[in-house]
């Protein structure tokens, strides 16, 4: 059995992100089999017990996750081509009136926010911005198994076996897509449930079976739904909510 970087083990176990692990190790907030580790790059065996000091746990608890109902015309991450990032919507004025989280908005809540699952500029719906590396890894890590649900308005003529192909059988960029769950909601709207998120995946999938997407809205990520969050507004993820 070979030793592995402790930061990698911590990330794989969902304790935190690798970057956070390095930060905690530097501060002496990580123990391996009860012994404090403070050397960056230190390694441990995969079967050793890794625990976090209370200071690290407290820092994680203080990190916020924000849910935004993104309108068309905003990019998910960094500003590009003159378009604003969705994070500019996170202001005291645009906080949803029905946000029941007890948190008071602070400017510090905007620092270090990562987009956990992008939406393209022409799409709307649930966008997750988080300071918590554990949540980011859970939603967009390579081995993420969290469902994302979309309502997709389409036009065009669906290929004879198009619905079956949308569920399983299509490839993008030379790689087979994971099985999806795609059904008709009504005459011009499909419901997609995916466990992956390639760039413009749904739009490209639809093009392959003769359809053009004219409206796309993400309504759920895991067990967290968009619900009645108004367009262009945001709220905090509540303590009891888990993706």
Per-residue pLDDT of the chain (243 residues; tens, 9 = 90+): 899 999 999 888 878 878 888 988 998 989 999 999 988 889 999 999 999 888 887 776 668 999 999 999 999 988 777 889 999 999 999 999 999 888 889 888 888 888 998 999 999 999 999 998 888 888 987 778 899 999 999 999 999 999 999 999 999 999 999 999 999 999 999 999 999 988 899 999 999 999 999 999 999 999 999 999 999 999 999 988 999
Q: Report CA-CA distances (Å) from 231 to 11, 129, 189, 228, 243.
A: 34, 16, 20, 9, 21
Residues sharing a CB contact under 8 Å with residue 103, sequence separation 6 or more, in sequence order:
64, 109, 236
Domains within the chain, CATH numbers bracketed: 4-61 (3.10.290.10), 63-141+224-236 (3.30.70.580), 148-221 (3.30.70.1560)
What per-residue confidence (pLDDT) applies to 225? 97
> Which pLDDT score is estimated for 25?
93
Q: What is the pLDDT of residue 16?
A: 80
Q: How far from 106 is each of 33, 63, 84, 88, 111, CA to CA, in Å?
A: 37, 12, 21, 14, 10
Whole-number pLDDT of residue 60:
64
Q: What are phi and psi of 36, to 5 degrees?
A: -65, 135
The β-bridge partners of 30 are 37, 52
Residue 199: Cβ within 10 Å count:
10
pLDDT value, residue 102: 86
**Helix and strand numbers, DSSP H then E, in the chain:** 6, 16
Identify the pLDDT of residue 61: 60
CA distances to 91, 117, 154, 155, 170 from 205, in Å: 35, 18, 12, 13, 7
Looking only at the bridges linking them, the beta strands covering 211-221 and 124-130 are parallel
Active site residue 120: yes
Among candidate residues 120, 143, 145, 173, the one labeled active-site is 120
Looking up tokens 């030793």 gives 3
Residue 225 belongs to what H/E stretch? strand 224-225
Two tokens, residue 121:
């500029």
Which tokens is 142 given? 């390579």
């Amino acid at each position: 059995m070979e030793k592995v970087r402790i930061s990698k083990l911590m990330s794989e176990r969902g304790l935190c992100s690798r970057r956070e692990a390095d930060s905690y190790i530097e501060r002496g907030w990580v123990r391996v089999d009860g012994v404090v580790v403070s050397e960056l790059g230190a390694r441990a065996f995969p079967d050793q017990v890794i625990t976090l000091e209370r200071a690290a746990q407290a820092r994680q608890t203080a990190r916020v996750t924000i849910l935004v109902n993104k309108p068309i015309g905003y990019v998910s991450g960094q500003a590009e081509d003159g378009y604003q990032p969705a994070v500019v919507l996170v202001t005291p004025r645009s906080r949803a009136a029905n946000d029941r989280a007890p948190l008071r908005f602070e400017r510090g809540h905007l620092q270090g926010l990562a987009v956990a699952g992008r939406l393209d500029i022409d799409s709307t719906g649930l966008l997750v911005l988080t300071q918590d590396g554990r949540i980011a890894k859970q939603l967009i890590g390579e081995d993420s198994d969290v469902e994302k649900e979309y309502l997709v308005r389409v036009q065009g003529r669906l290929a004879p076996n198009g619905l079956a192909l949308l569920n399983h059988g299509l490839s993008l960029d030379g790689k087979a897509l994971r099985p999806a769950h795609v059904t008709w909601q009504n005459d011009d709207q499909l419901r997609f449930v995916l466990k992956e998120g390639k760039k413009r995946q749904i739009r490209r999938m639809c093009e392959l079976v003769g359809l053009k997407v004219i409206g796309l809205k993400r309504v759920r990520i895991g067990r967290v739904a968009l619900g009645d969050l108004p367009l262009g507004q945001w709220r905090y993820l509540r303590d009891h909510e888990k993706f």
